[in-house]
Structure 1
């Protein structure tokens, strides 16, 4: 099992804060956002792959300094103006045929995210982590599910059952299916906006390949997109 962290973006919605420092290196409770993602994944995977892009050398230096003995490696996405689908594409050769967990560097999950809330299984198909116990914000990725399977995923759904929280697990038994959907999106969408969520939408078009929707309960986590998000996380998580 491998973990893939998408950490190539600048985080422009944070304004001047990311002029010289990429969003994954924003600090909360004395740690970077990236540290939260790495720690949670290392509890369940044999290797973590961090996809860098904007100010890549700073992230690489941070990993070398703070995770020197951990199985964490980096790969650069040179297409900085493209959607995050290209970041997953950059990691694809390192993933190979292994099952993997895909997540974002700006999601601050607790250390037991994958051991308690969203445990990965090497042969358990494709599943996405979702929530429905709190109000869904306008900019969140909304989902519709039926009988536990994903029907639709988009930020613009007028009606929805809950929100996707940016983490997907892909079992070894679903590699061919997942990467076929990836290739179709890559070939048919504008790379400037192509996203990993579009792969999930593609998979949902066929009931045989539709991802399982896992509703998580009791999970305390934070997403860092804006200065307000960063302030809330810092106030809530004290070092």
Structure 2
């Protein structure tokens, strides 16, 4: 919801029921958010609250706050779309306010905003076939994408994020414990999308790019960029912006990047021609790393070798060797590659 739309759904905490009725009528959100002079959320009045007040014979000149919920359920600023959707479903409500650490109203999530994004023509592929050996015995019976964070599997968080951005056509590449993933996700209808499976031969894992050959065979009609990502990522990103940037730059392949900082634990000597020119004590290096989220033009799928394992870095190198445009798209949100037990614990702690 834009700031302008948020303002249309907001009234002062001194507003009357009549004022609140006008707000609900003009905003079309079925709620009126009441804020104090500092912009902090003071209460939430629904159209149901209004009806009940009127049926009880209350005057439209009554203070709206007297009939509002003064401590409504809220979400923290920047909450993932999937978490918002879970809360809306759990509370059986159509809207939930977003507030910052001081209680200041910064947004309003409505059910139509969360699940009603304009459908995109793009297909997404989630790579979920890996063994997850770095997680040790945690993946003996459970594939890594089904590890649970904040009450949902990692792959469900991924899918709900994609659905919220308008991607409804999703393929999941499966291999290790494939039946567990297929049983868990089904056809995707409960998550608001269509889920189909790219089934690798268990004896011949195809790597992070190789399973795109299965997509190539199944969907030779693809005309729009394909969004590809690993199935073990806890990340919130704007798929619409990624695909828009990909199209705007005329790229054949776009790589999402993430800033990574590393503190060198020693003093670094700077020299030129054998002469010391400076000394930096424990400098911090900032690097852009591969975030394992990509947008790929369908024609590039033809360059993935058939019948053998290959990785996404291999496809990037192939594009560069062919003189194709490869661009970077910076991912500004939190990002966790759930590869080790400590990564999984960190994801659970931040959810």
User: What is the TM-score of this pair, normalised by structure 1?
Assistant: 0.74
Selected match of 1:166 from 267, 292, 295: 292
> SS of the residue aligned with 1:84?
helix
Tell whether the 8 Å contact from 2:210 to 2:304 is kept in structure 1 after alignment. Answer: no
Aligned position for 2:108: none
Post-superposition offset of 1:39:
1.4
For structure 1, the residue ranges without an aligned partner over 5 or more in a row are 138-158
Q: How many residues align?
A: 201
Post-superposition offset of 1:33:
0.9
The answer to whether 1:109 aligns with 2:221 is no
Distance change (3 Å), C-alpha of 1:55 and 1:222: same
Structure with larger RCO (C-alpha < 8 A, sep 6+): 1
Selected match of 1:71 from 181, 194, 205: 194
Question: Per-residue displacement from partner, 1:59-105 (whole Å, max 9, x unpaired)?
Answer: 11111287445212122111455323332222222343232101110
The structure whose residues are more often strand, as a share, is 2
Structure 2 CA distance for aligned equivalents of residues 212 and 70 of structure 1? 29
Who wins on radius of gyration, i.e. which is larger?
A: 2
For structure 2, the residue ranges without an aligned partner over 5 or more in a row are 1-121, 264-284
> SS of the residue aligned with 1:135?
strand
1:21-60 to 2 correspondence within 5 Å? 21-42=142-163, 43-60=165-182
> SS of the residue aligned with 2:211?
helix
Structure 2 CA distance for aligned equivalents of residues 57 and 212 of structure 1? 36
User: What is the TM-score of this pair, normalised by structure 2?
Assistant: 0.52
Structure 1 CA distance for aligned equivalents of residues 143 and 135 of structure 2? 10
> SS of the residue aligned with 1:78?
coil
The answer to whether 1:98 aligns with 2:212 is no
Aligned position for 2:317: 201
Tell whether the 8 Å contact from 2:168 to 2:193 is kept in structure 1 after alignment. Answer: no
Which portions of structure 1, spanning 4 or more consecutive aligned residues, are displaced by more than 6 angstroms? none
